[in-house]
Amino acid sequence: MITDEERAARTARAVAAAVSAGRDLGVTVDEPEVLYDVFSVIVRLAPSPVVVRVPTVLPRTTTLETQLIDQRRELAVAAWLGERGLPVVKPSPLVPAEPVQRDGFSMTFWEYIEFVEDANLAVAYSAGLVAKLHAALRDYPGELAFLTGLDPFIPDGLAQLEGRPELLDPADLDRARREWEVFRPLLASEEAFTKAFPGVTVQPIHGDAPGYNLIVTTEGDLYADFELVNRGPIERDLAFNGPEGIEAYNAAAEKLGLRKADDGVLRTLEAVSLLQLVACLSMAPDLPMLVDGLKPMIDQWRETPFAGAGVGSQAKPAR
């Protein structure tokens, strides 16, 4: 496991890289301020209204080359939504909307937003905003991959957990691998998915729980963090919203001409999301807080019946 001193040194390197890159782009930086430091170091280049996101804890399957592709896609989608008047955190207008690679990091530059700390939005309200986001995204003209963030991340993460019982019990690892073998063929491609779930459409989606990735400001609520934007079923963005959230989403979707959430697909993708969190334990050596942070969801996964035969088609996977 990384030590506190090693993590602090990693953060310092990320801040130094962000400051150096910002200054080279003409941004005035006097006192850089770290706003957030978990999977990414988020740095404000004060006094300039520029924020830099520097990912520091990444899956082993991510390279600087794949990061560049993902970050360009994220910047493009956020800029496109902003141009259409959607309330979204936009790329900084003070620098080119292009990732910058510096000292082993790949970073993106965003506008600085004053946010309300510890703000909690009602689930039903957030779900309505997700429907509005889906309505806007369905017209996005850019190319997007299908259901990114699952393969090869899940199987590689599980492989790294082999022989690490302090992170995941061998019996749990065996179950996780068997579940992935059930899900893998259903999610291998858009064609495979639509065959498994006839009539369930796919479209551009946020990809990372947009209802929980809203930034609350004194001037309104903004969509943020499009790092995993991709094509997929809208249920991917609705996992764990609960009955109240799904009901609110469906009501808003009907008004916007969107389809309602499919219960079978929702349950399947909630099970996949839990499996994805199990695989996230493979990153705990670089981010030890994951062990305790993921425990409630891992416990929920253990209490969920095994997702075996019958998943897909008209079946309703059990919780």
Residues 6 or more apart in contact with residue 164 via CB below 8 angstroms? none
Same domain, 163 and 41: no
Claim to verify: residue 56 and residue 134 sit in the same structural domain: no
Residue whose structure tokens are 């199990």 = 278
What pLDDT does 21 receive?
98
Model-level pTM?
Answer: 0.92
The verdict on 63 and 186 lying in the same domain is no
State the residue range of the domain holding 40.
4-111
Q: Which of 81, 111, 141 is the last residue of a domain?
A: 111
| Residue 309 within any structural domain of the chain | no
pLDDT tens-digit readout, 144-197: 999 999 999 999 999 999 999 999 999 999 999 999 999 999 999 999 999 999
Last residue of a domain, one of 76, 111, 146: 111
Note whether 149 and 264 are same-domain residues. yes
**Residue pair 296/240 in contact by the 8 Å Cβ criterion:** no
Where is the domain boundary, 59, 77, 111?
A: 111
> Per the domain annotation, does 285 fall within a domain?
yes
Q: Identify whether residues 245 and 139 lie together within a single domain.
A: yes
Task: Indicate if 289 and 267 belong to the same structural domain.
Answer: yes
Does a structural domain hold residue 165? yes
Omega of the bond leading into 47 within 30 degrees of 0 (cis)? yes
Residue 311 in any domain: the answer is no
CATH of the domain at 255: 3.90.1200.10
Q: How many domains does the chain have?
A: 2
Q: Are residues 96 and 141 in the same domain?
A: no
pLDDT at 105 over 90: yes
pLDDT value at 315 more than 60 = no
In this structure, the answer to whether residues 157 and 277 fall within a common structural domain is yes
In whole angstroms, how far apart are CA 255 and each of 147, 199, 262, 266, 278? 26, 20, 17, 21, 37
Q: What is the pLDDT of residues 228-270, one digit of tens each?
A: 999 999 999 999 999 999 999 999 999 999 999 999 999 999 9
Same domain, yes or no, for 46 and 142?
no
The verdict on 103 and 197 lying in the same domain is no
The stretch 203-207 carries a mean pLDDT of 98
Residue 319 lies in a domain: no
**How, if at all, do strands 105-111 and 50-55 pair?**
antiparallel
Residues 241 and 213 in one domain: yes
| Chain mean pLDDT for the chain | 94
In a domain, residue 198? The reply is yes
Q: Is residue 316 part of a domain?
A: no
Do 267 and 166 share a structural domain? yes
Q: What is the CA radius of gyration of the chain?
A: 20
36: domain CATH number? 3.30.200.20
- Is 315 within the bounds of a domain? no
